[in-house]
Amino acid sequence: MSFPPSKKTLAAAALALTAAVATACSGSGSGAGGPATAGKVTIRWSTWGSAEDVALYKAFNDDFMKRHPNIVLKMETVPKYEDYHPKLLTQLTSKTAPDVFFVGDDNIGKFVASGVLAPLNERLAGPASKSRPEDFFEGVYGGAKKDDKIYGVPNDTNPEVLWYGKKALREAGITEDPAELNAAGKWTMAKYMEMNAKLKAAGKAGSIFWNWYGSTYSVIGGFGGKVWDGGRFVATTDPKSREALSALAKGYADKTFLSADVLPASNGANTQFLRGKAGFYAGGRWMIEVIKKGGDQANYDIVPFPSETGAPMPGAVAASYLALNKDSRNPDEAFTFLTEFVSKEGQLLRLKSGGAVPSIKGAEQVVLEGGYPAHAQTLLDVRDTGFANYPEEVAVPGLTKDINDELMKVWTGKVGFDEGMTKLQALVDGRIG
């Protein structure tokens, strides 16, 4: 899943836990899976994630193996998200890859194009499935679906929303509540930009964004613009899209907006937001843990990104996918793991204490129980109508990262806006041919 960099690194505790799991679940040798001792089948699966994620996965593994005594699960993790996919591609080439594995939404296109993933339609619709194709929201499939064939199932999601600090807004003289405006159909991009200007005038930052498609494309959508149209990248040429990118560039230049990617570790995005130095922070459900550890929970709530008119619009949804190795030696057992992992029951078990939103219909209580944040339903609303990164973009290996890198040059003032847009368009056109 495309998360901010702070969410992509495993802590040392995760490595220790992984080692313990691997030792406890040791089985067959080379290749994708294989027979284990005592007539059992070993299914290898790989992922990345935080220490908390890995702990929740271990709980699922233990529960699964109790219910399937003939299957031994061997979980394999890679410390850094940036290292995970290159290693997996190498394993797939050498026929030593796991049976089942996570794929991020910014990498799924290259895996689909390389022909290493097993199509899942028939299995998902078959009698052994615990997760039907229609149980998932169409927009979240993103690049995992091509020509109506499903090559990966979204294992969970993180809709991009705007967290806001009520105290910071009051201190800037803002009397309107964003969530209330949204409920009344009056949460517009104009109103949001007006609030950002008031926060700036009060000596605060308006909003903190991570430099990734979730925030950037949400702002473009809020201005009424488009990113891709008919297979063409139009973010730099569509008038409203260009206006949105120009507004971001100007906001970064005058510190109305802050880029979380370049803030110093001693005064990073979380610190500034929790201290009321910024009014809004774009993020997912993972922000709950940030607030619990350092803030007054009642002071924070969420609202979707605003639209041009105030009517709801599709929002960006970070996703990752669980895929089946085409060369798995034990595809039936591997699919049993896959379908139960992404099933309603599997997601209820994995996400009850996690910072993600279920990708499957029927598991909404994970998000709503506990009543926090007050407008938690917003996370589900964005998920239900939102979109994972565009298939046209993720189909080109590394394109999303290259787009982000070019935009960062503009956000940081290293390249002028007009020059940056020209270079960005040339980059994309050159990559998609």
Tokens in use for 126? 């078959």
pLDDT tens for each residue of the chain, 433 residues long: 444 544 433 233 333 333 333 333 333 333 554 444 568 999 999 999 767 667 778 889 999 999 999 999 999 998 888 899 999 999 999 999 999 999 999 899 989 999 999 999 999 999 999 999 999 999 999 999 999 999 999 999 999 999 999 999 999 999 999 999 999 999 999 999 999 999 999 999 999 999 999 999 999 999 999 999 999 999 999 999 999 999 999 999 999 999 999 999 999 999 999 999 999 999 999 999 999 999 899 999 999 999 999 999 999 999 999 999 999 999 999 999 999 999 999 999 888 877 899 999 999 999 999 899 999 999 999 999 999 999 899 989 889 999 999 999 999 999 999 999 999 999 999 999 7
Instruction: Return the closest-CA partner of residue 208 out of 259, 262, 271, 272.
Output: 259
Task: Give pLDDT, residue 371.
Answer: 92
**DSSP E strands, 216-360:** 228-229, 232-233, 257-259, 278-283, 300-303, 317-324
Four-residue CA torsion sign, 32, 112, 59, 20: positive
Instruction: Specify the pairing of strand 41-47 against strand 71-77.
Output: parallel
What SS3 class is residue 177? Answer: coil
Task: Give pLDDT, residue 250.
Answer: 98
Cα 240 to Cα 190: distance, rounded to the nearest angstrom: 13
Peptide bond into 69 cis (omega under 30): no
Question: For the chain, what are the domain ranges?
Answer: 5-158+318-385, 161-315+398-432
SS (H, E, C) 354-406: CCCECCECCCCHHHHCCCCCCCCHHHHHHHHHCECCCHHHHCCCCHHHHHHHH
pTM summary value: 0.89
Tokens in use for 374? 């007050």
* Equal CATH topology for 5-158+318-385 and 161-315+398-432: yes
Please tell me the total number of residues recorded for the chain in this structure.
Answer: 433
Cα 155 to Cα 376: distance, rounded to the nearest angstrom: 20
**CATH topology classification for 5-158+318-385:** D-Maltodextrin-Binding Protein; domain 2 (3.40.190)
The stretches of 202-238 forming alpha helices (DSSP H) are 213-222
CA distances 172 to 168, 194, 276, 320, Å, are 6, 11, 10, 38
Tokens in use for 215? 């925030």
Cα 178 to Cα 164: distance, rounded to the nearest angstrom: 8
CA distances 298 to 176, 205, 351, Å, are 17, 21, 22
- How is domain 161-315+398-432 classified at the architecture level of CATH? 3-Layer(aba) Sandwich (3.40)
What are the residues whose beta carbons fall under 8 Å from the beta carbon of 43, sequence distance 6 or more? 33, 71, 72, 73, 74, 99, 100, 330, 333, 334, 337
Tokens in use for 424? 């960005």
Q: With left for phi above 0 and alpha for psi between -120 and 50, is residue 33 left, alpha or beta?
A: left
Instruction: Return the closest-CA partner of residue 52 out of 373, 372, 355.
Output: 355
Cα 198 to Cα 183: distance, rounded to the nearest angstrom: 22
DSSP 8-state assignment for residue 47: E
